Structure 1
């Protein structure tokens, strides 16, 4: 078992969904991402009041919500603004990462859904760049601990996590393990049973079609890497040219977020 798999990082919350600490990962030079500074999550609408109080106690200063307006309206994040925590959300119409929208297209059965997911990871870097720019700007301003989320904490959040860990010097194989951990920690059945709006419409679809949509698949993330290589000259160039995180910014992030 790898060091990544051994490190406990899922937060002990009754209503958390795929909410975990990204700290503890080793960088290529043998250092470690700080614990308690970076958190990734899915929907937070099922958090109990005790869960919300626990998150506030962690000293989180920024929450970046990557969801569309309708997703936020159906499953509001209630805890951060009353606590004075900076809450960022962006109004946009693009459907990339909204799994129920993908399923409504229903093309080609399960394999068609899997191919649609691969294609989706070519759209996320462009569609959600403004959100990632804000997220990195907050980190560079020292406004961490930072939590970022989407509905499943898998696709929009997964790509954002890849960017952060890459910027901090975490190797690609470790980034992939962090991405694939969604398959262990995202309990979609609990969302179905709890009546969460993000999956209510998804429950109407055949489970064979649902499987590739709910999965974190290595080929999905590989599709994003391939797209960045082909369209931007790689992750480093995308970070510098699109997100505004060049070598000097990465040095600052490392100083802030790596031990």
Structure 2
């Protein structure tokens, strides 16, 4: 999560929990996207580019490597998440499930549950985007 998103919506941690923030993106993609999206095709292209970045951008690859290394080297229960819980968290969960031997269909079914469990959060994010870009640009 970006430092701004952590400050905006900090985690409430139980006693004894160790917190580590790994900023996967290293930049503010939300505002970058809000400035460039003018159509549904733009939105799709932005999301495809963002997700492609998980495996081709050096900063993101390094951040994911840090996450997976920490998961592998830390004892006891662990939790990883992001603001929305669907993009880089979904990618990380899919990789962990793959390493654990889950089949691709199960991994996809699990990922698609994000739409159901995050419907309210996604709705709020869409409303924020609408407010940021205006109704005429978001009418697509």
Distance in 2 between residues matched to 1:135 and 1:200, nearest whole Å: 31
Task: Report what 1:119 is aligned to.
Answer: 49
Q: 2:9 maps to what in 1?
A: 75
Secondary structure of the residue aligned to 2:26 is coil
State the TM-score, normalized to the length of structure 2: 0.78
The Cα shift of 1:147 comes to 0.8
TM-score, with normalisation over the residues of structure 1?
0.45
Residue 88 of structure 2 is matched in structure 1 by 156
Q: 1:93 aligns with which of 17, 22, 26?
A: 26
Greater helix share, 1 or 2? 2
2:102 corresponds to which of 170, 182, 189: 170
Distance 1:209 1:117, change over 3 A: farther
Number of aligned positions between the proteins: 135
Match of 1:103 in 2: 34
Report the CA distance between 1:140 and its aligned residue.
2.2
- Cα 1:210–1:186 change in 2 (3 A) is farther
More strand by share: 1
Counterpart Cα distance in 2 of 1:134 and 1:144:
18
Q: Which runs of 5+ in 2 are unaligned?
A: none
Which residue number corresponds to residue 129 of structure 2? Answer: 202
Structure 1 distance, partners of 2:136, 2:113, is 21
Change beyond 3 A, Cα 1:119–1:78: same
CA contact under 8 A between 2:86 and 2:114: conserved in structure 1? yes
Q: Indicate how the Cα distance of structure 1 residues 106 and 148 shifts in structure 2: closer, same or farther if over 3 A, else same.
A: same
8 Å Cα contact 2:98-2:107 kept in structure 1: yes
- C-alpha displacement at 1:123, in angstroms? 0.6
Aligned mate of 1:134, from 36, 43, 66? 66
Aligned partners of 1:72, 1:176: CA distance in 2, in Å? 28
Q: Evaluate the alpha carbon distance shift between residue 209 and residue 146 of structure 1 in structure 2; reply closer, same or farther with a 3 A threshold.
A: farther
SS in 2 for 1:181: helix
- Highest Rg: 1 or 2? 1
Inter-partner Cα distance in structure 1 for 2:118 and 2:51: 19
